[in-house]
Amino acid sequence: MTATPASRPLFSLVGQTALVTGSSTGLGLATARCLGLAGAKVAVNYANSRPRAEKALADLRAAGITADLFQADVSDEGEIDTMFTAIETSLGAVDIIVVNATPAQPQKPIEEYDWDFYQQMLDFFVKSPYMLARRALPGMKKRRHGRLINITSEVFQLGVSPFSAYVAAKGGQIGWSRSMARELAPFGVTVNMIAPGWIPVERHENDPQADKDAYLATVPAGRWGKPEEVGWAAAYLASREAGFVTGQSISVNGGKTVW
Amino acid found at 216: L
Condensed to tens digits (0 to 9), the pLDDT of residues 6-60 reads 567 899 999 999 999 999 999 999 999 999 999 999 999 999 999 999 999 999 9
Condensed to tens digits (0 to 9), the pLDDT of residues 182-197 reads 999 999 999 999 999 9
The per-residue pLDDT for 206 is: 77
Provide, rounded to the nearest whole percent, the portion of the chain with pLDDT above 90.
93
Task: Give the count of beta carbons closer than 10 Å to the beta carbon of residue 73.
Answer: 17
Superfamily (CATH H level) for 17-252: NAD(P)-binding Rossmann-like Domain (3.40.50.720)
DSSP codes of every residue in 14-52: TT-EEEETT-SSHHHHHHHHHHHHTT-EEEEEESS-HHH
Mean pLDDT for all residues in the chain: 95
Measured distance CA(209)–CA(191) in Å, rounded? 36
Task: Give the count of beta carbons closer than 10 Å to the beta carbon of residue 104.
Answer: 8
* Bridging pattern class, strands 146-151 and 189-196: parallel
Condensed to tens digits (0 to 9), the pLDDT of residues 106-136 reads 999 999 999 999 999 999 999 999 999 999 9
Task: Give the count of beta carbons closer than 10 Å to the beta carbon of residue 141.
Answer: 15
Residue 246 phi/psi, 5-degree rounding, is -150, 150
Coil, helix or strand for 195? strand
Q: Which of 187, 182, 201, 193 lies closest to 98, judged by CA?
A: 193
Measured distance CA(259)–CA(251) in Å, rounded? 9
* Cβ burial, residue 60 (10 Å; 0-12/13-18/19+): buried
Asked whether 252 and 196 are in contact (CB, 8 A), the reply is yes
Say if residue 97's pLDDT is above 90.
Answer: yes
The DSSP H or E segment spanning 174 is helix 164-184
The per-residue pLDDT for 104 is: 92
Residues designated as active site: 166
Measured distance CA(246)–CA(213) in Å, rounded? 35
pTM (two decimals):
0.95
Measured distance CA(134)–CA(128) in Å, rounded? 10
Residue 58 CA: distances (Å) to CA of 68, 149, 193, 201, 246: 9, 25, 28, 19, 33
The per-residue pLDDT for 87 is: 98
